[in-house]
Chain A
């Protein structure tokens, strides 16, 4: 819509590749190839006048949603998926790769390293970075303004959002756009949803300030559920991987496959309002999954009021209000 918005990747026409296959690695490889990961890396390298091997790549994955023994399955990144993404990046010449994550105050375990180790993430081909440990002042603009940023995420030349495919009481569905909310390094993410501000406005501000260059949604095993948080849902064997250089278009297509009207998601509506309508080039296996059990309008409306209104205290200590 705006002149500034037109410069952002979320306003550009982009391919969204949906691939299924015999294995996750095979599907992911085809998806990132179909979505043009190699071209995106080459273009970014040319833009910065450098080689892919020198590009600093940061991957924001869903690690902390797996904190705690009761963490619902398929609501956080599978280490095998991350390894496949890292392999795909190495295949196109990248070598400086970091997995970044930040803590969430509503879960008991605050240490990213501890949670990552328990879930089976093994740093080696990539570096594991806890963004909360490298905070520096940064002006995001939008509804966040001056806050703190994780240096690795800020300084990355190529940012990747690796999200899970799951429903959300607040957003109807949570994908690669919402995942970037977790790049905010402070543990208390509620700070960004106070005084009438909403998590989706904060998320959009983050994406505007530090654009994400590529998005991947791991829908090999998805999670649906119409309740307040992910623990009320079930695991769906959807056996697919989605990828796109435009995370906004990517989430839109993911919602379509889930059987949801994407416009009902406050996050995607915020995207349409701020970034405008996008032409999406859909590729691959676009057969919709069996409709997901998604939160109804009453749940979404109630969650929205609880997340940013005066009643938000009622949700303290519960992770369901957050969006990544």
Chain B
């Protein structure tokens, strides 16, 4: 069977993560049911607050099951489920420690431990999918979202936003990252965590839908202060990644000079002009 060359197909880590999330979600729901049946054993306290805690575990489970259905498409569900799982595990453990209950302590610790493979697998999955050289996995995901927002060709884009982001990452790595690398990473951080706040969406930029992302970017384009620099950086990065790609150049009809018919047999030795001020003395000691 012929397989088309897909650059962005699922990785082994993503397949494992999806299965793990689906399984973990079911376990969390089962835990909530069990806590309802024997609250005094499993919950740190057989009270309404304890029930609420179990409810959070179930909510985390539902989110993770949803995420397991497609970790790329349901990224928000994964973020929310993971946050809920961590928070519930921490609250469960802390409360159990205060009330000195062995089983609830173990249960709470297990909830936290169960979240660790999700974080690890997700990190490896992003690395395997994009193989970033300069940006961190999270920053590269942000760059993909930025490219998706800035290069809005309504499906007629010459290359995928992921290719744009990877090109930017490679260029930053091959260039002189020490010059502006720190600032660019800072911009990625601001975009991911602070930019959504300008449209009152307290969530990561990568979790936003395309319309909300565009609204956020449009707001900062017209803004002054430091956000103007952020907008400029986003534009430069997107344009370099998109128009600097050979596939885009070809799609636009650009042919490098060396590949043009009329370049054949042309002497391309640079013409040396005398310096207008120093004349023929230019360059001599």
Q: Which residues of A contact B (CB under 8 A)?
A: 1-3, 6, 172, 201, 252, 255-256, 259, 261-264, 266, 269-270, 272-274, 277-278, 282, 288, 297-298, 300-301, 304-305
B15 is an interface residue with CB less than 8 A from chain A: yes
Among B11-53, those with CB < 8 Å from A are 11-13, 15-16, 19
Q: Which residues of B contact A (CB under 8 A)?
A: 1-3, 5-7, 9-13, 15-16, 19, 120-121, 124, 128-131, 163, 166-167, 170, 245-247
- State the Cβ distance, B51 to closest chain A Cβ, in Å: 36
Q: Which residue of A lies closest to B162 (CB)?
A: A273
- State the Cβ distance, B161 to closest chain A Cβ, in Å: 14
Q: Which residues on the B side are within 8 Å of A274 (C-beta)? A: 131
- State the Cβ distance, B92 to closest chain A Cβ, in Å: 28
The 30 listed contacts between A and B (C-beta, < 8 Å) are A1-B167, A1-B245, A2-B167, A2-B170, A3-B246, A6-B246, A172-B12, A201-B131, A256-B1, A261-B3, A262-B5, A263-B6, A263-B9, A263-B10, A264-B10, A269-B7, A269-B129, A269-B131, A272-B5, A274-B131, A277-B7, A278-B5, A297-B19, A298-B12, A300-B12, A301-B16, A301-B124, A304-B13, A305-B120, A305-B124
Q: Which of A3, A269, A272, A297 contacts B16 (CB 8 A)?
A: A297
User: Are the C-beta atoms of A264 and B11 separated by less than 8 Å?
Assistant: yes
Q: Which of B3, B16, B19, B166 contacts A1 (CB 8 A)?
A: B166
* 5 closest residue pairs by CB, A with B: A300-B12, A297-B15, A263-B9, A297-B12, A277-B5
User: Are the C-beta atoms of A269 and B3 separated by less than 8 Å?
Assistant: no
Assuming the contacts A3-B246, A256-B2, A288-B1, asked whether A304 and B12 have C-beta atoms less than 8 A apart, the reply is yes
- State the Cβ distance, B158 to closest chain A Cβ, in Å: 13
Q: Which residues on the A side are within 8 Å of B129 (C-beta)? A: 269
A222 to B118, CA, bound (A): 36
- State the Cβ distance, A8 to closest chain B Cβ, in Å: 13
Most interface-central of A278, A301, A304 (chain B CB within 10 A):
A301
User: Are the C-beta atoms of A252 and B5 separated by less than 8 Å?
Assistant: yes
- State the Cβ distance, A273 to closest chain B Cβ, in Å: 5
Count CB-based A-B contacts (< 8 Å).
77
A201 to B6, CA, bound (A): 18
Q: Which residues on the A side are within 8 Å of B245 (C-beta)? A: 1
User: Are the C-beta atoms of B163 and A270 separated by less than 8 Å?
Assistant: no
Q: Which of A201, A269, A300, A301 contacts B121 (CB 8 A)?
A: A301
- State the Cβ distance, A181 to closest chain B Cβ, in Å: 16
Most interface-central of B129, B131, B246, B247 (chain A CB within 10 A):
B131
Most interface-central of B5, B124, B167 (chain A CB within 10 A):
B5
- State the Cβ distance, B190 to closest chain A Cβ, in Å: 25
User: Are the C-beta atoms of A261 and B5 separated by less than 8 Å?
Assistant: no
User: Are the C-beta atoms of B9 and A298 separated by less than 8 Å?
Assistant: no
A277 to B3, CA, bound (A): 12
A193 to B264, CA, bound (A): 45
User: Are the C-beta atoms of A262 and B3 separated by less than 8 Å?
Assistant: yes
- State the Cβ distance, A38 to closest chain B Cβ, in Å: 27
A297 to B124, CA, bound (A): 13
Most interface-central of B11, B19, B246 (chain A CB within 10 A):
B11
Q: Which residues on the A side are within 8 Å of B10 (C-beta)? A: 263-264
Q: Which residue of A lies closest to B2 (CB)?
A: A256
Q: Which residues on the A side are within 8 Å of B130 (C-beta)? A: 273
A298 to B170, CA, bound (A): 29
User: Are the C-beta atoms of A304 and B124 separated by less than 8 Å?
Assistant: yes
User: Are the C-beta atoms of A263 and B12 separated by less than 8 Å?
Assistant: no
Q: Which residues on the A side are within 8 Å of B121 (C-beta)? A: 301
Q: Which residues on the B side are within 8 Å of A252 (C-beta)? A: 3, 5
Q: Which residues on the B side are within 8 Å of A1 (C-beta)? A: 163, 166-167, 245-247
Contacts A6-B246, A273-B131, A304-B128 known; list 14 others, CB within 8 Å: A1-B166, A252-B5, A255-B3, A256-B1, A256-B3, A263-B3, A264-B11, A269-B7, A272-B7, A273-B7, A282-B2, A298-B19, A301-B12, A304-B12
